[in-house]
Structure 1
C-alpha cells in the first residue's frame, strides 16, 4: 500500500500545486488554458512522435494481448458514453470526454513505475508495446468521435490531418525508417518539449479544479472511476487468462495497465473542446485517489503484490 501511495503522490503533488497557485492568485485563470493548449498542441504531439518513432515493435504481433486489452477498453468506453447520455444527460463532445476518461489510463505516473516494480525487465516488452499504441489509439478514436458527429467527410478529413495529435502520430510513423539518421540536437529539442507534457498538464488540471471544483457532482465521476478501476481490468483479466494463451507477465501487465486511474489526456481533450472539463478533472482526481486501494488489490490478486 505504501508503494502505491508513493507512486501516485507526485500526481497529487502537481495537481495540488496548480490548485494552490490559483487559489492564492499566483497564477491567473488563463494560465491553465494556456498550459493545456501548449500540452495539447506541442508537448503531447512531440511525446507521441518520440514514442512511435523509437518504439520496438515485434514482427509477430501478439494478437491475443491486443484483443484482451482493447476489448476491455472498447466496452468501458461505450458503457461510459451510454451512462453519461442516459443517466446524466451529457451530449456531444461531453459524451466523448466521459468515454475517454473511463477508458484511457494514467500510464506515465502510475502505470510505468507500478508495472516495472511488479514485473521488472520481464514486463518491459509488453509494457512498451502498450505504451507505443495506447495513447495514439485513444486520441484518434476520441478525435474521430468528436469531429465526426457534425462534420462532413471532407471537413472531418481536413480536421483530422490538421489535428496536432494526429500530426504527431503520422510523423512518428514516418520517422521510424530514418530515426537513426536524425541529429542529436533534434532529439534534444523533442525530449525537452515532450518532457514538459505531464507536469504542465497536471498543474493545468489543478488550476481547472480550483475553477470547477465538483461542479459536475459526484455521480458521473464515481461511475467513470468504477468503470476504469473495476470493470476495465476485470474484462482484461478474464480475456487474458481464460480466453487467450499468453505468459503470466504479459497478462499481468495488461491487467495492471487497465487498472490504472483515468488519464490526464481526457482532461486535455475536454479543455481543447471546452466541454466536459469538470467531469474529466473530477474523474481523474477521484480515480487516482481510489486507485491507491484498487491497484494494491490487483497486485495481490496477480501474486506480485
Structure 2
C-alpha cells in the first residue's frame, strides 16, 4: 500500500487548516466556533454511529487493552522520572513531573490516530479503536491530577473530575453507542440518515481544526524537553506497544498495527490544557504538540511501511 496515499490526505487537511489560519483567513474566534461544532456535534455523531454498528463481541479484547495501556503507564512512569533529571530545578516538582509524564504518553487518538488507522487498515477497525479510546483520557488525566496532588494544593474534586469525564463528548458518545448496541436499539432510517450526515465531516473537520490550532502554538525555549518528550511519545511508546502486542500476546497483525499506530499518534492538545491548568510545563507541552505532530509524519510512514 502506497504510504503517500494514506498520509497525504491527512497532511493536506492539517496543512490547509494551518495555512488558512496562519494567513488570517480564519481567526482564533472562527476556529473556536468550528472546534465547538466539530467536537460537540460531528465527532460525537461519528463515534456514536460507529459504536452502534460495531460488532462488540469482536471489539472487546482484554489482551489488546493490556498491550496498549501497560506500555502507556510504563512510559508515563519513565517520563515522570526523567523530569527529575533533565528539567530545570524549579520544574522538578511532583506536579511538574506529572505534567511532563503526560506529555510523553498521551496520544491524539481522535484527531490523528483514528483517521490514520481508518485510512491504512479500513473502517472495520473503528470498533476496536473506540474501545481503546474510551478509557484513554480518563486514565491519564486522573493519574496526572493524583500525582500533582491537586486535592491538597487547589482543592481538586474527584466528583467534579468524574462528572467532567463522564460528560466528555467522546466518552459519552462512545458509551451511549455501546449501550444502544448492546440493547439492539433501532433508531429508524430518518434518524440514522441525519446522524450519518452529521458524522461525514467529522474526521476532515478534526484534522482541519488540528492544523488551525497548531498555528497558535510556537516551539519555545523548552524545545529540548519537547523534543525528548516527542521522541518518547512517537518512537519509544509505539515500539513498546509493538513488543507487547506482537511478541508477548501474539496478537494478529491487524490488531498489532492498530495498537501501534494509535500509540504512535502525536501528543494531544488536551495535554497542553492540563498543563495550563496545573501551571507546569506549559511551554514544554505546547512545543511538544507542535514537534510531535510534525515528526509523526515520519514516524507514521515508518510504522505503516513496516506493519501494513
Q: TM-score range, shorter-chain basis?
A: 0.7 to 0.9
Conservation of the 8 A alpha-carbon contact between 2:103 and 2:271? no
Q: Distance in 2 between matches of 1:129 and 1:74?
A: 23
Following TM superposition, by how much is the alpha carbon of 1:102 offset from its aligned partner in structure 2, in angstroms?
4.8
Matched, 1:199 2:204: yes
Q: Which runs of 5+ in 2 are unaligned?
A: none
Q: After superposition, where does 1:61-210 map in structure 2 within 5 Å?
A: 62-83=61-82, 87-88=86-87, 89=91, 91=96, 94-95=99-100, 98-99=103-104, 101-102=106-107, 104=109, 106-116=112-122, 127-145=125-143, 149-150=150-151, 151-210=156-215
Tell me how far apart the structure 2 counterparts of residues 21 and 207 of structure 1 sit (CA, whole Å). 8
1:1-305 aligned at under 5 Å gives the runs 3-58=2-57, 62-83=61-82, 87-88=86-87, 89=91, 91=96, 94-95=99-100, 98-99=103-104, 101-102=106-107, 104=109, 106-116=112-122, 127-145=125-143, 149-150=150-151, 151-215=156-220, 217-258=222-263, 260-262=264-266, 266-267=268-269, 270=272, 276=282, 278-279=286-287, 281-296=289-304, 298-299=306-307
Quick check: 2:117–2:261 contact (8 Å CA) kept in 1? Answer: yes
The number of equivalent residue pairs is 288
Deviation at 1:8, TM superposition (A): 1.6
- Alpha-carbon offset, residue 73 of structure 1: 2.5
Cα 1:103–1:132 change in 2 (3 A) is closer
| SS of corresponding position for 1:32 | helix
Q: Measured at CA, do residues 43 and 279 of structure 1 come closer, stay the same or move farther in structure 2, by a change above 3 Å?
A: farther
Q: 1:217 to 1:63 in 2, by over 3 A?
A: same
The RMSD of aligned alpha carbons is 3.5
Question: Is the CA contact (8 Å cut-off) linking 1:96 and 1:145 kept in structure 2?
Answer: no
Check conservation: 1:69, 1:254, Cα contact below 8 A. Answer: yes
Pick closer, same or farther for the CA change 1:238–1:222 going to 2, 3 Å. Answer: same
Contact 1:201 1:268 in 2 (8 A): no
CA contact (8 A) 1:46 1:190 kept: yes
Counterpart Cα distance in 1 of 2:178 and 2:81 = 33
Q: Answer yes or no: is the 8 Å Cα contact 1:36–1:271 preserved in 2.
A: no
Give, in angstroms, the shift of residue 26 of structure 1: 1.2
Structure 1 residues 286 and 85, CA gap change in structure 2 (3 angstroms): farther
Distance in 1 (CA, whole Å) between partners of 2:81 and 2:190 is 47
- The Cα offsets for residues 1-46 of structure 1, whole Å up to 9 and x where unpaired, read as x922332222221222122212322111222223233333333333
* TM-score, scaled to structure 1: 0.75
Structure 1 pair 240/33, CA: closer, same or farther in 2 (3 Å)?
same
